[in-house]
Structure 1
Amino acid sequence: MQPPAGSQVSSGQPAALGVPTPAPAPAPAQVPAQRPPSEQLPPPPATPTPERPRRRVRTVLTVVAGVLALLCLGGGIAGYVLYDRATAPDRSAPDVVVANYIQAFLNDRNDTKAEGFACAGDADLDGLRMFRDELVSREGRFDTEFSVRWGPLDVRQSGDTATVEVDLIISAVVDGVTQSDRQRWRFETRQKDGWGVCTAQLAS
């Protein structure tokens, strides 16, 4: 059946009532953020760093280098002096040089060391050398070793020369028995850049 003329057919949606829809309100205008006055000012110019005086630094370095050089030089000289004193033969007195010569020549049997206690160039010590050769020969014959000790040293000095007499005590162990012998020796010494042994012979 057709609807009467002039009537409206409902389509399932509510009919518009003819009320106008209000337009959306315009967005408020944005105001730019204001900076504090301090942020708007340009930064102050940087203060230049004062330069350090270079001449003073160079002077200090020069002084320090000079002091270090002097310390190194002084240490080297002191070390050399101490080494020279420690290694130089003791020739301070006639009896001292004779005792050192006996030890070096007869016990240590070190000719190079013994020469440091002898008169340079004109020493006549063949008698003591023959005595040592005889000891070495007996050591091989009896399969033993001899040691030499000495008693008090009697010194008679006259100016730059001195005579030293001393008893040499020769000992060895042969077949389990200690044997010893005593000999009186005379040494002539002379002072020349220190005392030295010039001659050695059996005392009569």
Structure 2
Amino acid sequence: MAARIERLVTSGTFSLDGGTWDVDNNVWIVGDDTEAIVIDAAHDAEAIVRALGGRTLRAIVCTHAHNDHIDAAPELADRTGAPILLHADDLPLWKQTHPERSPDGELADGQALSVAGTELTVLHTPGHAPGAVCLYAPGLDTLFSGDTLFAGGPGATGRSFSHFPTIIDSIRDRLLSLPAATVVRTGHGDPTTIGAEAPHLDEWIARGH
């Protein structure tokens, strides 16, 4: 059976630089009836376990280490035995949330992750966070963009560890060159496509969004 994509929306809070905000997060599950990976274990390990439905969890992939994307990762790892994977440049952010628990492995640019006959390639896309990554699955015509690219523009860069020119470079150089029909499945909110976002790059730069 071919791999499929499922979206689970979980709710909690995002905290950084002394502020806290209520957020809804997309948890993406990629797999088939026997195995899966989870992209961004946000807020509710029990809900993620229920969504997995007994499938073998091969990995918990973190697109970046803001707390709302990783807060449920250790519990999910404990309950499933799956390794937590994170880009090393986001370890300082990770340690703010989980000082006593390190990830189990590192994500690197160009690394390939395989599940249910589908390959996902890690793209290092810093800017929203130093170790932010996207996952490109050409066989599914999909990019899992974390908080790097949303419908309507780049992820936020107004807080610690983020940098607007860097996220623009990441989006221009690593994402907008993908096929226009590629579906962008984001860390929050509704999906978009590369083709829908690419024409607006100069607008984003002009407004410094």
TM-score for both structures, normalised by structure 2: 0.22
Judging by fraction of residues, say which structure has more helix. 1
User: Relative contact order (C-alpha < 8 Å, sep 6+): which is higher?
Assistant: 1
TM-score for both structures, normalised by structure 1: 0.23
Structure with the greater alpha carbon radius of gyration:
1
